[in-house]
Structure 1
Amino acid sequence: MSYDLIATEFLVRADILAPGLVEGLYLQGSVALGDYHPGVSDIDFVAVTQDPADPALVREIHHGMPRRPHFDGLYVTWEDLRADPSTVPPGPAVHENRILPSSRFERHLVTWHVLAQAGVALRGPAKPEIFTDWPALAASTRENLESYWRPWSQSIRRHPGSLTSWAVSWGVLGVTRLRHSLVLGRVTSKTEAGRYALRSYPGWDRILEEALRLRCGGAPQYRNPFHRRTDFLGYLDYALHPTAPPDTPLLH
């Protein structure tokens, strides 16, 4: 089922079970960034209400929604979108078919920036007022490379999971996306970032092509998973080195 049909089903359910609750519905993530791949991507939504949504209503609306692809997202108010997300209180969210009654899931600057850049409006103003702060997002992106991705790269090399296709796609494109976003001064997609790295990071074509293949489809670049693992871990070392890929915005 396509993402627009699933989103439409959500709106129908919401309007029947809680008339007037959902005043705005926006798709962010891979759909907004033009990188949605059926069977690989989730559907990331932001539902906007006038007042904080009742978690019981949220649970009722999402009960019976298709389980694949995941329809993941959060409920916020219009006032929340106008505020720094670090100051927005926890609220209802949906993650991998689980209802989170009070969560900070996706309540961060990345979500706000993607909505402002390219959010797909299915209900509500096409360009709602949304708080953005690129310097703060750039700083948190660099911090994320150090606090999440560097420890992750160290742990995955000691784990058999480093041989899996999931780890290759998640690691290579995840790190590359952050580097690429820093270069362009906007949130970019995994596929766009991978293609940028093919042009900009010499010597890593094979593992980058493999990561893109796992996301977008195509012929495998490796027959031996251990050879792939070696290139994968080597690429992480390269991409996470603070002086390797440039991470300052390009001049336009």
Structure 2
Amino acid sequence: MSRLPDTVRPVVERFVRLTAEHVPDLVEGVHLVGSTALDDHRDGVSDVDAVVVVHRRPSTVDLDGLRLVHRQLDPPRPFDAIYVLRSDLAADPSQADTVPFAHEGEVHADGAFEANPATWLTLRDHPLTVHGVPLTRDEVWCDPAVVRRWCRENLDGYWTELLQLWRAVGADMPDDQLTSPYGLAWGVLGPLRLLFTIDTLTTTSKSGAGRWARDRVAPHLGPVVDMALAVRSGQPVVPYAPPPQVWSDGADLIEWVIGHAASLPPNAQR
């Protein structure tokens, strides 16, 4: 656990203890993904995200036990997880059987969004095993065409809808959302992560995507990327322009990402 931030380590250790108590013999391994695995964890902002490999598909009794585990974990810190068989990791996650998941302290029997190609790619390229047998790169599925298609569909669906919302109400957004890690910074850096994966066929953190994109975006979008990175890092931030202009630049950035992603070859890495 040498890469774990000091604030994350006790949460992981508590999770392992609680699962041993409430769902004995279920958990085979715990592998962190998200900002912790990508060296971008921010205390007070980042959740702890995990792929938990289990020995069996969780039963109703197991799910009840997992509910006890997550209710005792959250608070003090969100510990979000998906529960998969080791064999699930060898195949396209969209083809997996029912995948239970926990989000914000609540356990659900199926519908795990995080069972997706980007999560599998993080497991493959940036493994951070904190309990059990580490995963090897060859154990984790990767189909470049499917990964890139999934990222493009995410941009064309979710992020296009968010773009339309920003265009409609951005000028009326509360000013504090400009400097919140869940506001402008999240909306700017999130789609850049997808573009990074389409272009490089690997994953990076929100901060990593912003740094990578800084010299690639259109020049007038550089300041909004810089501001998003500063907010993400926890620095004091003074908006570089009046709020309506900053929100407009953020919307332009999302639109640029969607258009640039569509222009890249569907299967070839640049």
Equivalent position to 2:155, from 140, 145, 156:
145
Equivalent position to 1:123, from 119, 124, 131:
131
1:169-248 equivalences in 2 (<5 Å): 169-201=185-217, 202-222=219-239, 224-242=242-260
Instruction: Specify the alignment match of 1:59 in structure 2.
Output: 67
Identity value in percent = 29
- The residue identity in structure 2 corresponding to 1:229 is W
| Closer, same or farther: CA 206–245 of 1 in aligned 2, 3 Å | farther
Kindly state the Cα deviation for residue 167 of structure 1 after the two structures are TM-superposed. 3.0
Question: What secondary structure, in the 3-state scheme, does the structure 2 residue paired with 1:35 have?
Answer: coil
Which residues of structure 2 form unaligned runs of 5+?
1-5
| Closer, same or farther: CA 176–124 of 1 in aligned 2, 3 Å | same
Is the CA contact 2:152–2:261 (under 8 Å) kept in the aligned structure 1? Answer: no
Could you tell me how far apart the structure 1 residues matched to 2:164 and 2:76 are?
Answer: 32
Kindly state the Cα deviation for residue 68 of structure 1 after the two structures are TM-superposed. 4.4
Could you tell me how far apart the structure 1 residues matched to 2:26 and 2:261 are?
Answer: 49
TM-score (norm 1): 0.90
Q: Deviations over 1:112-164 (max 9, x none)?
A: 11111112101222224222212210111112211221221012221344852
| Closer, same or farther: CA 243–19 of 1 in aligned 2, 3 Å | closer
Instruction: Specify the alignment match of 2:165 in structure 1.
Output: 155
Instruction: Specify the alignment match of 2:3 in structure 1.
Output: none
Question: What secondary structure, in the 3-state scheme, does the structure 1 residue paired with 2:110 have?
Answer: strand
Instruction: Specify the alignment match of 1:25 in structure 2.
Output: 30
Q: Deviations over 1:189-233 (max 9, x none)?
A: 111110111122233221111111121122314163223223222
Which is further off, 216-225 or 197-206?
Answer: 216-225
| Closer, same or farther: CA 193–19 of 1 in aligned 2, 3 Å | same
Kindly state the Cα deviation for residue 245 of structure 1 after the two structures are TM-superposed. 7.9
Is the CA contact 2:53–2:83 (under 8 Å) kept in the aligned structure 1? Answer: yes
Question: What secondary structure, in the 3-state scheme, does the structure 1 residue paired with 2:214 have?
Answer: helix
Q: What is the root-mean-square deviation of aligned Cα atoms in Å?
A: 2.2
Instruction: Specify the alignment match of 2:98 in structure 1.
Output: 90
TM-score (norm 2): 0.84
Could you tell me how far apart the structure 1 residues matched to 2:262 and 2:22 are?
Answer: 53
- The residue identity in structure 1 corresponding to 2:203 is V
Kindly state the Cα deviation for residue 82 of structure 1 after the two structures are TM-superposed. 2.1
